[in-house]
């Protein structure tokens, strides 16, 4: 949740609370869960400010590999996140403590923070003339050559 959305939600919650709405009605109206409502229900403005500020500065699981990931992204802007994950697995000598999806989100965050766009390449292709009869063939790589005859 962004800081602005957090403040909006808090203000709406307090307004509905002052109007006398029940907690369940407030949760449904704001489309938040009851535990979230209970978390913010009795907080002061200073306390909500601390919570929202801490949400923006939370540590990320992939932070300990920040320099390695950033270096790879700067050298190879089109590198796949799966390749970076494999490199981190090698550095960590096994499971790095987060999933590949977590790393993808972290890479997206780093690209935005450091303005490292992924360049989009269009494939170059063109139509070719059909060769003469008998000069072209198609292979199905899924076939292994051992076909059974059916009776």
User: pLDDT tens, 92-149?
Assistant: 999 999 999 999 999 999 999 999 998 777 777 788 888 888 888 777 777 666 555 5
Rounded CA gap, 36 and 33, in Å?
5
Looking at the structure, do residues 9 and 39 belong to the same domain, yes or no? yes
Rounded to the nearest 10°, the torsion over CA 142, 147, 148, 150 is 90
Residue 38 within a domain: yes
Number of domains observed in the structure of the chain: 2
Residue 133 within a domain: no
Residue 106 within a domain: yes
Residue where a domain stops, chosen among 56, 78, 97: 56
State the pTM of this model.
0.51
Residue 41 within a domain: yes
Containing structural domain, residue 12: 3-56
Per the listing, tokens 């403590």 go with 97
Residue 134 within a domain: no
Looking at the structure, do residues 49 and 72 belong to the same domain, yes or no? no
Looking at the structure, do residues 72 and 99 belong to the same domain, yes or no? yes
14-62 confidence digits (pLDDT tens): 999 999 999 999 999 999 999 989 988 988 888 988 888 887 777 888 9
Looking at the structure, do residues 72 and 30 belong to the same domain, yes or no? no
Rounded CA gap, 108 and 113, in Å?
9
Looking at the structure, do residues 67 and 85 belong to the same domain, yes or no? yes
Beta strand ranges found along the chain (DSSP E): none
Rounded CA gap, 72 and 95, in Å?
19
Residue 35 within a domain: yes
Q: Both tokens of residue 12?
A: 């709406």
Residue where a domain stops, chosen among 113, 128, 144: 113
Contacts of 85 (CB under 8 A, 6+ apart): 96, 100, 103
Looking at the structure, do residues 69 and 109 belong to the same domain, yes or no? yes
């Amino acid at each position: 949740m962004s800081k602005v959305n957090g403040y909006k939600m808090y203000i709406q919650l307090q307004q509905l609370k002052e109007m006398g709405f029940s907690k369940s009605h407030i949760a449904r109206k704001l489309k938040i869960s009851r535990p979230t409502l209970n978390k913010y229900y009795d907080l002061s403005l200073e306390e909500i400010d601390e919570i929202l500020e801490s949400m923006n500065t939370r540590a990320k699981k992939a932070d300990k590999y920040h320099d390695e990931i950033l270096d790879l992204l700067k050298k190879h802007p089109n590198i796949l996140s799966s390749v970076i994950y494999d490199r981190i697995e090698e550095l960590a000598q096994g499971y790095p403590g987060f999933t590949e999806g977590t790393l993808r989100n972290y890479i997206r965050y780093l690209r935005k923070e450091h303005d490292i766009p992924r360049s989009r390449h269009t494939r170059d292709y063109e139509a070719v003339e059909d060769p003469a009869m008998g000069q072209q063939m198609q292979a199905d790589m899924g076939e292994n050559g051992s076909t059974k005859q059916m009776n």
